[in-house]
Structure 1
Amino acid sequence: MALKVGVIGLGDVSIVHLHAIKLNKKSELVAVCDIDESKRELVKDVNFYTNYKEMIEKENLDCVHICLPHYLHYPVTKDVANLGVDILLEKPLCLDTKEANKFKELSESIDTNICICLQNRYNKTTKYLQEAINSNEYGKVLGIKGLVAWDRPEEYYTLKPWRGSMKLAGGGAMINQSIHTLDLMQLFGGKIKSIKGRIDNFTDYDIEVEDTASACINFENDCRGIFFTTVAHKTNSSVEIEVIFENGEFTIKDSKLYKMLDGEKVEIIEDDKLSGTKHYYGASHFDLIDNYYNCLINDTKNYVHIEDAINSIKIIDAIRVSSKQDKIINWG
């Protein structure tokens, strides 16, 4: 029998979730919820609600996808979890480390399954690199570079003002556009030792959040990570992640993994791609969602947990504090 699934929040990223749910034979989309009644036109063949508690009360749901603005992630997740429904939560986990700790306490106090949508962990390129690291085939990881140069016009913030508010978004380019890159950097690098970072605004938009940030992330194994992100670019360039081993060098770019061989980049593997205007999201939402559904059906726990998503939030906070205090922040 298919899982009965609902979606809370019908913003931009919900389209990817709705598509994945409808394609998946393990799930049935039975209800959606948004405070904007005009969104009813987006999904006409299921029950529509403007109150998520009412939706959960009236529908016998197995799982709910939460696709809401960042400031609503914790309170809505807490409500839904306490109502006994399993959850798939869009990134980021939350606003900051303080709220991440609340999430950790929540996960320890309930039996509800909560999966965080860090779908780039399911990319073919990511899996290949992770296997290379685990096998030690190329020796230790010495360095990691993460670059995100995207474009967000001022209308991006004026159309949805919460995106430019620190209180409501928790940040800008780091938490919104680069959370996946930071997540993969810490996944590849291991335990963090210290961080030195800078945040800035290169545009003249009327926003509180950063549009640009950079950092040096030092790992306990002596690996050094260099990170740069901006949404002040003129286009959405390919995200680039480079991993330097003792005996090899790999680069993820244009959704492909390349290995340096005799001074030339040789393509190793390519990620599945998403069609349409949101192609840069990648296609691994489907893989993450399918894996999570399998976990719910088989009562297993092999999904991205709250604890897995906390480090990327802590990194962002450390970069922000380092920039403000102009000093290295020790991890702890």
Structure 2
Amino acid sequence: MSRKKLRAVIVGYGKMGQIRHTAMDQHGGYELIGICETGPLKSSVPVTKDLDSLLELRPDVLFCCAPNRFIPGVVCRSLDDGLHVFSEKPPGRNSQDVEHMRRAELRNPGLTLKFGFNHRYHDAIEDAKALIDSGTLGRLNFMRGVYGKAGGSDYDVNWRNNPEFSGGGILIDQGIHMLDLFHLFAGRFSDVKSFVERKYWTSVAVEDNAFALMRTDEGVVATLHSSATQWRHLFKLELYLQKGFVAVDGILSASGSYGTEVLSVAITRLDDNGFPLPNPELQEFRFLTDNSWSKEVNEFYDCVVNGNPVVHGTSQDAADVMALVEEIYRADPAHHSKIAATAGGLWNA
């Protein structure tokens, strides 16, 4: 039985636009009918340079893979034009951008709006969540997350480091994924401390390192280091619970530079007096295939065709994580004053 075909268009055909296109082709339920891209591009489907021309093709769904600055305008216009929308992260540059999109979502209750926080769909993350939710290891006490990379070529001139286009630096670009996972495992944070700094790229207007310490009302503490000067690419998420710990070391990515995705699990051993013994035995599970992109596209299709609610990447998820990003920026007064001045007040005082 053949699937219903959704007429799809993509705004922004860089790395992420191409990844989404591949996932749509693998799914089989999408027909790409147009692309909006300002750069040179050879394609078998029509390529336009403006959104109006793209919408004239009358698609069913739109994938927004544009820089942060343009996301709210594209998303709001597309929803108001009757399209279901899948948008990349970060969801704009700040909470105001997210609020604009949420208002457009409310104006169009029959449409789906989903944001691409694909790290939630990685097999190691899903298995870690299922294990913790089972209660086998008891309550969650604290988490540590490190997500870092080397800046890369042309780092200083990349649009991602222009606050007018991005809203910030490595924290909003990459660290936002780890923060979203923190929310997945622990919920929202009510107390935030931070140091947001330029350690190496001192001529760039935005941060290349962010150090944050957070706590929920329930007492779960989390620490984050988001870095563009982590010369060895690194993803590591550790979750320590009452009866053991769970860790995800490495994450499968398009670049392949973060290593094999490994889930480690340990249950504490107790001595004769009931005290935990150090270095419990580890079980390791290795994952060799990144299914996250396909899972996201599959869920989006199911929401559009069958009317099911978005599970991960809701507008509330986007609002929550953007609010946390802003709180981390604000928690370092020295950094906040600099970025607010440089970005023309993109972040609220």
Which range moved further: 166-175 or 258-267? 258-267
The yes-or-no answer on 1:302 pairing with 2:310 is: yes
C-alpha displacement of 1:107:
2.0
Structure 2 Cα separation of the partners of residues 246 and 35 of structure 1: 53
Shift of 1:271: 6.1
TM-score, structure 2 normalization = 0.84
CA distance in 2, matches of 1:271, 1:122: 14
Letter in 1 for 2:263: L
Query: Where does 1:6-155 land on structure 2 (aligned, <5 Å)?
Result: 6-36=9-39, 38=40, 40-41=41-42, 44-57=43-56, 59-111=57-109, 112-153=111-152, 155=154
Distance 1:100 1:14 in 2: 21
Q: Is the 8 A contact 2:197 2:335 kept in 1?
A: no
Deviations 1:88-112 (A, max 9, x none): 0001111112322223222222232
Contact 1:125 1:271 in 2 (8 A): no
Instruction: Specify the code of the residue in structure 1 equivalent to 2:19.
Output: V
SS of corresponding position for 2:232 = coil
Aligned AA (2:327): A
The reply on whether 1:177 has 2:174 as its aligned counterpart is yes
| Unpaired segments ≥5 residues, structure 2 | 251-260, 268-278, 337-349
The aligned counterpart of 1:204 is 201
CA distance in 1 between counterparts of 2:240 and 2:99 reads: 33
**Where does the alignment leave 5 or more consecutive residues of structure 1 unmatched?**
274-282, 328-332
Match of 1:168 among 165, 170, 188: 165
Shift of the alpha carbon at 1:264?
A: 3.8
CA distances 1:136-175 after superposition (whole Å, capped 9, x unpaired)? 22111000111012111351342x3x22221210111111
Measured against aligned partners, the alpha-carbon deviations of 1:29-68 in whole angstroms (never above 9, x if no partner) come to: 11111122x1x22xx21111111221111x2311110000
Say whether 1:257 aligns with 2:274. no
Which of structures 1 and 2 has the bigger CA Rg?
A: 2
RMSD: 1.9
- Residues 283-306 of structure 1: per-residue CA shift (max 9 Å, x gap): 411111111112211111134211
In 2, distance between residues paired with 1:312 and 1:113?
19
2:80–2:104 contact (8 Å) kept in structure 1? no
Deviation at 1:233, TM superposition (A): 2.3
Which of 235, 242, 247 in structure 2 is aligned with 1:246? 242
CA deviations 1:163-211 (Å, max 9, x no partner) are: 2221210111111112111100111112322110110011135321111
Counterpart residue type for residue 314 of structure 1? A
Question: What SS class does the counterpart of residue 256 from structure 1 fall into?
Answer: strand
AA matched with 2:117: L
Matched, 1:193 2:190: yes
Task: Give me the TM-score of the superposition, normalised by structure 1.
Answer: 0.88
Mean alpha-carbon deviation: is it higher for 145-154 or for 128-137? 128-137
Counterpart amino acid of 2:128?
L
SS in 2 for 1:146: strand
Secondary structure, aligned partner of 1:178: helix
Residue identity matched to 2:204: I
Task: Give 1:318's aligned residue.
Answer: 327
| Paired AA for residue 46 in structure 2 | N
Residue 326 of structure 1: how far off its partner (Å): 9.3
- 1:272-283 equivalence runs, <5 A: 272-273=289-290, 283=291
**Residue of 208, 211, 214 corresponding to 1:217:** 214
Letter in structure 2 aligned against 1:74: P
